[in-house]
Structure 1
Amino acid sequence: MHNFVILIDRLYTLDGDHKTIGGIQTYLSALAKVIFDNFKVKPVIYQSAKHFFEIEQPHYIVKGVDTNGEINPKKTFKYLKSENSAKSTLLIWGSDQYSQPSTKFESVSIQHGIGFDTEAMHSPLKRALVNYGLTWVYKTLQRHKAIKIFENSRAAVCVDYNFLNWYRTYRSSAQISNKIHVIPNFTDIPAEPIEKNNDKISIVFARRFVDRRGVDIALQLASKLVSKYENVEFYFAGDGPKLPLVKKLVESHERIFLTKFDSSKSIDFHRGFSIAIVPSVGSEGTSLSLLEAMASNCAVVASNVGGMTNIILNNFNGSLVPPTFDEFYKELCDLIETKERLITYQKNAYITAKSSFSKANWEKEWVKVLNLTLK
C-alpha cells in the first residue's frame, strides 16, 4: 500500500485553530477525499505552522510543521522527508509554487494557472523594475521561475490548457513530459436547472476584494448599473483589503448589498442571482467561482484572462471581455436589456457546467492520474 502526502503552504491557520478559505483549500480537501475513497488511506497534508500540531479529519490528516509562523515550504518538505519513505510514498505538491527539487519521491505537481500575467508590486525591487520601464526584465524572471518550479516534478496536473500551451512555446516536443495532464476545476451540479426570475436583475460579484480579482471594476459597475436601471440590484459577497471601499458604496445606495456565504453552499447562494461577474485582471485558472455560478444557472460575464477562456464560448454560454469597466458595462447593459440573450446564457451555462466540469468527471480523471503515477 502506498502512502499519500500533500505539501501546501497552509490548509489550516498557522496556529491550527481553523481551516482557511480559498480555492486551493477547497481543491485539496476534495482531492484528499478522492484519495481516501479510492485508495482506502488517509493522505497526510503537511503545512507551515507556528508550532507542531496534528488534526485528523474524516478523509485526511493535517500536520503543522514548526516554521516559526512563516510560510516555509523548504523546511516543511525537510520534515516530510524525515517521516516518510520515498519508496512507499506518493508526494503531491498542492501547488507547484511550493514544490522543491526532489529526485527520490515519486511526485505529482498541481499547476493552478498562470499567476504571473499581472505585476505583483509588494516588494521595492518589483516596483522599481516596473516604474523604471524594466517590466520586461521582471516578466522574464517570472517566466523563468514558473518553468523552473513546474519542472520540479516529472508528473503534473494543470487546471487549464492555458498554462500547458504557454509552456509548449518554451520547450521542444521531446522535452515535454507525457505525464502532464489537464484536469479542469470542478463544481457541484444541481440535479435540475435552477429557475430564475429575471424581472428583477440581481448581479453578484463573489470574489475576494483585491485588485487582481477586479474589485475596482465591480465597484464602478455597481454604482453605474443601479443608477441606470431601477430593476437592478448588486451584491458583493466576500472579504478582503478593499472591504472599506465596498462598505462605503453599500452605505450610499439602497440597492447595493454586502454579504457572505459558506463556500460549501455556493450553489444555493447563487440560486437567487440572474448574473454573475468575474472581472479578474489576471491570475486565473479554471475559476471555481465562475463554474459555481454557471452550475447555478447564472448568466456570466468574465474577463478574457487565464483558464476562463477554457470555460466560456463567447456569445454561447457567457461573455468574455477585456478586464475594463467600459467593456463590462457595455456587456451587462446589453444583457439587462435583452432578456432572450440573458436566458440563453443561463441555460447554456448550466449545460456546460454539467457536461464538462462536474465533480464526478474531475474525480474520475484524478483517479486515472494517480493510478498511472503509481505504476
Structure 2
Amino acid sequence: MILKKTNYIKWKIIKMYRYFSEMGLSNTIVFLTNKLWKWIRSKTPTNPQIEKFRKNDFLNLWKENISEKQRIAVVVSTFYDLNGRDYMQGGAERYIVELSKIIHTLGASLEVYQCGNQTWHKIHEGIHVFGLNTNGYNIKRLNEAYHDWVPKPTLSIYFQLLLASPKFNTPSICVSHGVDWDAHWLQKDNSKYTNLIHDVLSSCKNVNIIVSVDTNTINWLRATDYDLSEKCVYIPNFVDLNKFNLIKKEGKEEVTILFPRRLTDARGFWLIQKIIPDLLSRYENISIEFCGKAEKFEEVEVKKLTEKYDGKIKWYDTAPDKMGEVYQNADIVIIPTRYSEGTSLSCLEALASGKPVIVTNVGGLTDIVLAEFNGTMIEPNSSELFNSICRLIENPNLREKLSANALISVQSFNLSLWQNRWIQILKKYINLYE
C-alpha cells in the first residue's frame, strides 16, 4: 500500500513540476518544495518509507530537473508546431538535438522555449520543450515571454538573431543559421527591411558570442559593423559520417533526381517545378523525388505533379534517421536555394553519400561546394538549373568525378569536429555556474 502511495506521489510531483514549469516557477525550488509537501502530508500520514522517499528520490528529482547550475535554455521560434503536436523534423531541430547531447555530456541539461498558440510542455529525446503563449508565430512576443519566465543568470542560446532583442540574458550565445533577410520580397519594403536590420544588429550587440554556421553572415556583419563581427565564431554545420556513406548500385539505368528539403520558395521548389515538363519530355529514363514537408501552396502543386506524371514524380517525407536510404537511391541531388541559407545539412548529407550535387551560390552553400570539384554551382534561376541537370544526366563520368571528390571534401564537416568546437565554447560559459 505504501509503495502504491509512493508511486502516486512521484507521479503527482512530476505532474505538478510540469504545471509549475508552465507557470514560470520552475526555478523556485523552495516554493515548489513547500507546496508539494504540504499536499503530500494532507494525503499521506507520516511514514518512514515516505520520509525516505522525501529525502532521496524527491531531492534527486528536483536536482535533475531544475538545478540552476545545470540548466541551459534554447530559444527558437518553432521546434514543434504551435500547438505542440508535430515535431518539425528539420535541420534546425536536428541541430538542437545534437547540441543537447553535448550539453548533457558536460553535466548540464537543455530546455527549449518556443512560440505557441497556448502554453504547453513536451519532452523530445529527453529535452523539455515549452511552448509559450505568444498567440501564434510572433518573435517579439516570444522574446518578451521568454525573458519574463527565465531568470537572467540562465545561459541562453538564441537560435535566431532576432530573438535576442530587445530583451536579453547574460551570459548568452546567438546561433546564426545564415542571412535570412536576403529575400526579394522583404527588400521591396524599405521600412520593414530597415527595421529588421536594426533589430539584427541590436541582437548582435546584446549577446556575448555569435556562432555562425557560414562565413556569409560573418562577412556581411564585418562590412556592416566591424566591431560586432569580432564576436563571431565560425562553426559550420555537420554530418554524421557513420550514418551517410556511398553504396554503389550497379546496372541502374534510370537517373533519379532528388530534392531533399522542405518544399518552399526559399528552398527553390518553384525553380525545379518550372522545368519539370521540359526535363520529362527530353529524358525518358529519369524520375524526380521530393523528400520533405511542404508549405500550403507548394503542397497543392506537388500533388498536381505526382498525379500528372504518375510514377515519374514522387513526394514523401521521412524521419531524419531514414534519410541515408533516400540518398542511396538518388543519382543527382539538387539544392536550388533562392534565399535564407546557411551551410545546408541536406547538402552535407548528399556529399557524405557520395552524390553529385547542384547548388546555387546562395548563403553558406559556397562554404561547402567548390564549383566543378565536389559539385556544380549555378545562379538561382530555372534556366541554369535545367542546363546543369541536363549536363549531369548526360555525363556519367562527371558524376563519378564529383562523387569521389564529395567524399573527400565532406570530411571537413564531420560531426565530431562540430562537437569539439561547441564543447570549447560551452565549457567557458557552463563554468560560470560551478
Q: Same fold (TM over 0.5)?
A: yes
Q: In the alignment, is the contact (CA less than 8 A) between 2:359 and 2:378 conserved in 1? A: yes
Letter in 1 for 2:285: N
Report whether the alignment pairs 1:120 with 2:189.
no
CA distance in 2, matches of 1:3, 1:178: 27
How do residues 29-108 of structure 1 correspond to structure 2 at under 5 angstroms?
29-36=97-104, 38-67=105-134, 69-81=135-147, 83-87=149-153, 89-102=154-167, 105-108=170-173
Give the one of 57, 81, 84 matched to 1:16. 84
Q: What residue in structure 2 maps to residue 151 of structure 1?
A: 205
Single out whichever of 282-291 and 103-112 deviates more from structure 2: 103-112
Unaligned runs of 5+ in 1: none
The one-letter code sitting in structure 1 at the alignment partner of 2:126 is H
> 2:52 maps to which residue?
none
- Greater relative contact order (CA < 8 Å, ≥ 6 in sequence): 1
| Unaligned runs of at least 5 residues, structure 2 | 1-68
Q: Distance in 2 between matches of 1:52 and 1:136?
A: 35
In structure 2, what residue type is equivalent to 1:53? Answer: W
Contact 1:6 1:91 in 2 (8 A): yes
Distance 2:119 2:242 in 1: 40
Change over 3 Å in CA distance of 1:322–1:30 after alignment to 2:
same
SS across alignment from 2:109:
coil
Letter in 1 for 2:427: N
Indicate the residue corresponding to 1:257 in structure 2.
314
User: Counterpart amino acid of 1:195?
Assistant: K
Note if contact 1:2-1:90 (Cα within 8 Å) is conserved in structure 2.
no
Deviation at residue 367 of structure 1 after TM alignment: 0.8
Highest CA radius of gyration, 1 or 2? 2
Q: 1:23 to 1:97 in 2, by over 3 A?
A: farther
1:218 aligns with 2:285: no
The count of corresponding residues between Structure 1 and Structure 2 is 358
Q: Distance in 2 between matches of 1:71 and 1:56?
A: 21
**Structure number with higher helix proportion:** 2
Cα gap change, 1:52/1:319 in structure 2, threshold over 3 Å: closer, same or farther? same
Distance 1:346 1:222, change over 3 A: farther
Are 2:298 and 1:240 aligned?
no
Structure 1 distance, partners of 2:349, 2:114, is 27
Q: Secondary structure at the match of 2:103?
A: helix
Alignment of 1:1-375 (within 5 A): 1-36=69-104, 38-67=105-134, 69-81=135-147, 83-87=149-153, 89-102=154-167, 105-120=170-185, 130=188, 139-172=193-226, 175-176=227-228, 178-190=230-242, 192-197=245-250, 199-238=253-292, 239-241=294-296, 242-253=298-309, 254-353=311-410, 355-374=411-430
Do the aligned partners of 1:188 and 1:267 also contact (CA within 8 Å) in 2?
A: no
Deviations 1:207-262 (Å, cap 9, x if unpaired)?
22222221121113332222212221111222222122222222222422222222
With over 3 angstroms needed to count, the CA separation of the structure-2 counterparts of 1:70 and 1:302, relative to structure 1, is same
TM-score with structure 1 setting the length: 0.87
Q: SS at 2:183's partner residue?
A: coil
User: Cα gap change, 1:356/1:205 in structure 2, threshold over 3 Å: closer, same or farther?
Assistant: same
AA aligned to 2:132 is V
* Matched residue type, 1:351: I
Percent identity over the alignment is: 29
Q: Which amino acid aligns with 1:42?
A: S
1:350 Cα deviation from its structure 2 partner: 2.3
Question: Taking structure 1 as reference, are residues 118 and 82 closer, same or farther at Cα in structure 2, changes over 3 Å only?
Answer: closer
Shift of 1:95: 1.5
- Indicate conservation of the 8 Å contact 1:42/1:59, yes or no: no
- 1:26 to partner: Cα distance: 2.0
TM-superposed CA distance for 1:93, in Å, is 0.6
Normalized against structure 2, the TM-score is what? 0.76
Moved more, 290-299 or 192-201: 192-201
Q: Deviations over 1:8-28 (max 9, x none)?
A: 122122222232232222221
